[in-house]
Amino acid sequence: MSETHPHTMRLQRFLARAGVASRRGSEAIMTAGRVTVNGQVASELGTKIDTERDVVEVDGKRVVWGDTPVYLMLNKPAGFITTMSDPQGRPCVAKLVPTDRYPGLFPVGRLDFDTTGLLLFTTDGDLAQALLHPSRHVTKRYVALVDGRVSDDELEPLRSGMILDDGPCKPAPARVLTPRAARAVWNTAVPRGASVVEVELSEGRKNQVKRMLGRVHHPVLRLHRPAFGPLELGDLERGVWRLLTDGEIARLRAAAAVSEPHDSKEG
């Protein structure tokens, strides 16, 4: 197959241009053995394809040239891990979103097994990478039900920037909420001897909210994320997904300082 053939393209570039993932993410998908060309696994990064003749599939779903990126939000229920597959057979969020309709869909960041709330999915790897990069300061808002009665002063270490085992945390706005907040999130009253706390993060370290509140001696009993950047769950029911509106996508791009996809993907 000639390098100068007008329809010849490196496979990872094709996947990125089709909105499956970023170039680097597409390479990872290939090396994991998830991509086939004409029914054969294509894990070599130098693989070239004919975009008009070859059939490319990711996880068994065909990728069509010219597909536009997809963006959706899921109100994640507890009891699912944030991964698209699990060798141990645990329930995955992939079961809750339309991967058959949108090949290459993947979650942006993660929520713990027992954490509920807004989980963003996309096929736009460049935007996903930007949204998670600490330099973009895209905030995620959490509501936590914690053990013990919390005073505002006890949250000052979070607001000042505490140090955890894996290093210092950026200052995180935090406040005590009224018991009504718990009913709005979990449809239940605040148990005796518990409190509701809101925390905003601009970084995404593992179990960060739980570790921060544990450090001030108020272990998290339940955790929910109602907002990611400019996105709000609103009245989206638990376990349900919906596509983002054009306005929401534009606000996400503005928050991450990312231009329209595929405007400079040549080469």
Catalytic residue numbers read: 112
How many beta carbons lie within 10 A of that of residue 24, not counting itself?
13
- Vertex 128 angle, CA 67 and 23, to 5°: 60
Choose among 53, 39, 49, 38: nearest CA to 16.
Answer: 49
Instruction: Report strand pairing: 174-177 vs 194-201.
Output: antiparallel
| Token pair for 107 | 């979650």
Name residue 174's beta-bridge partners: 199
